[in-house]
Amino acid sequence: MEIWQKLLQASITRPSEVTRRFGIDPRPLEAVAERYPMRINPYYLGLIRSVGDPIWRQAIPSEEELHDAVCPADPLDEENQSPVPNLVHRYPDRALFLVCSECAMYCRFCTRKRKVGGENMVIDQKSIDGGLDYIRSHPEIRDVILSGGDPLLLSDDRLEAILKGLRAIPTVEIIRIGSRVPVVLPQRITPALVRMLRRYHPLYLNTHFNHPDEVTETAAKACARLADVGIPLGNQSVLLRGVNDDPEVMKALMQKLLTIRVKPYYIYQADMVQGTNHFRTSVEEGLAVIQSLRGHTSGMAVPAYVIDAPGGGGKIPLLPEYLQHLGSDVVLKNYRGDLYHYDNSAAPPEEKRSVAANDHY
Ligand SMILES: *Cc1c(COP(=O)(O)O)cnc(C)c1O
Ligand code: SF4
């Protein structure tokens, strides 16, 4: 058995095993773990420094999960945008393909909390084949995002069969893997795995770091292995109360990610998902994070801040008010708050522009 399989097998799945270690009462948490699965492997558990810290909050069940009277189970309306089981086709040219129902850790804030790790998320050969058939019969899909659950919890062979199936469809241009494994179980990124993955380029991987303490040497090594076989790495963080709802923490995270060759891609406003209301922040806080990044640090460290629109409208970007006025005079505000003007009336008229373009030849 490989190290990652041993770690996964040694995962804690009952609150009493954690609370004993930290000397707190397990009873209130048992009911939470009945409703929403828990799984924390020894590697990620080892990152906890104290009760209630940002790592703890992401991994250990909380009573608050059962006292959420605000949020619906499927706010993004994924189930209604699934033409076949386990595939969400929301945008014109790309599809989200759920290929594994398990994760290396069950994040308390998960957007698919309604089903991930539970019995009602059934992914089998039939649903995989159904997804591949759908993608094959929809040539407008040029970008397939493998998600779940976590696709990297599949065996190398099973994952390879899916990648092979996708590569046999000529209209699929790029494949993306969405995985939290580099963060929560980096030992899974083995030399054998990356040797397999490199055969299915162009392949991208978006991972999910939420806090600088997650960027360990082991995680860095996992990312290096992926980057070394030419897989561009992106990161999708969720803005979470008590985890990273602090511009300084987010800045440290974004900067650290660049040092391990991971490009910040998105920061998500927390979705309104049942059982996760205690993690939500205001939108103003998200805008403050972006404001603290743009101009103050590398542009490479600045992701897009998005809200995945409730009702299934897709991701909508939000920006602080850099554009103060749009007209023949454009008024702009820079990162220091100073105002600048751009003369928008001086663009050459259509006719002159085409002459200028012809001059080129
Ligand atoms: C996020 C998402 C995508 C990918 O969106 P990008 O902005 O291209 O990264 C595709 N489909 C669904 C259903 C999604 O939620
Ligand atoms: S790894 Fe992703 S899918 Fe799995 S529990 Fe965490 S957020 Fe949910």
pLDDT tens digits, 44-71 = 999 999 999 999 999 999 999 999 989 9
Which of 27-31, 81-85, 349-353, 357-361 is modeled with the greatest confidence? 81-85
The answer to whether residues 159 and 93 belong to one domain is: yes
pLDDT confidence bin for 361, thresholds 50/70/90: very low
pLDDT at residue 22 in the model: 87
Over residues 74-125, the pLDDT tens digits come to: 999 999 999 999 999 999 999 999 999 999 999 999 999 999 999 889 999 9
pLDDT (tens digit, 9 = 90+) per residue, 251-303? Answer: 999 999 999 999 999 999 999 999 999 999 999 999 999 999 999 999 999 99
278 and 138 share a domain? yes
Instruction: Report the alpha-carbon distance of residue 318 to residue 305 in Å, rounded.
Output: 6
Does residue 74 lie in a domain region?
A: no
Least confident of 97-111, 182-196, 283-297, 335-349: 335-349
Rounded to whole angstroms, how far apart are CA atoms 320 and 216?
32
Query: Is 103 part of the annotated catalytic residue set?
Result: yes
Which bound ligand lies closest to the C-alpha atom of 110?
2
Residue 106 located in a structural domain: yes
pTM of the predicted model as reported, rounded to 2 decimal places: 0.95
Kindly report the protein residue whose alpha carbon is nearest to atom 6 of ligand 2.
Answer: 107
Number of structural domains, the chain?
A: 3
Task: Find the domain containing 257 and state its range.
Answer: 79-318
Instruction: Say what percent of the chain tops pLDDT 90.
Output: 91
Instruction: Judge if 168 and 291 occupy the same domain.
Output: yes
Q: Judge whether 263 lies within some domain.
A: yes
143/228 same-domain check = yes
Out of 57, 112, 114, 225, the active site residue is 112
202 and 298 within one domain: yes
The region of weakest confidence among 130-139, 250-259, 298-307, 340-349 is 340-349
CA of 331 to the centre of ligand 2 (A): 42
258 three-state secondary structure: helix
Say if residue 223's pLDDT is above 90.
Answer: yes
Q: What is the DSSP annotation of 78-123?
A: TGGG-SBTTEEEEETTEEEEEEES--SS--TT-TTTTTTTSTT---
Q: What is the position in ligand 1's atom list of the atom closest to the CA of 76?
A: 15
Domain assignment present for 205: yes
Query: Is residue 72 included in any domain, yes or no?
Result: no
Q: Are residues 45 and 112 in the same domain?
A: no
Question: Which pLDDT does position 26 carry in this prediction?
Answer: 86
Ligand at shortest distance from the CA of 174:
1
In CATH, what number is assigned to the domain containing residue 243? Answer: 3.20.20.70
Establish whether 271 is a catalytic residue. yes
Whether residue 52 is found in the same domain as residue 109 = no
274 with 261, same domain: the answer is yes
Q: Does residue 29 fall inside a structural domain? A: yes
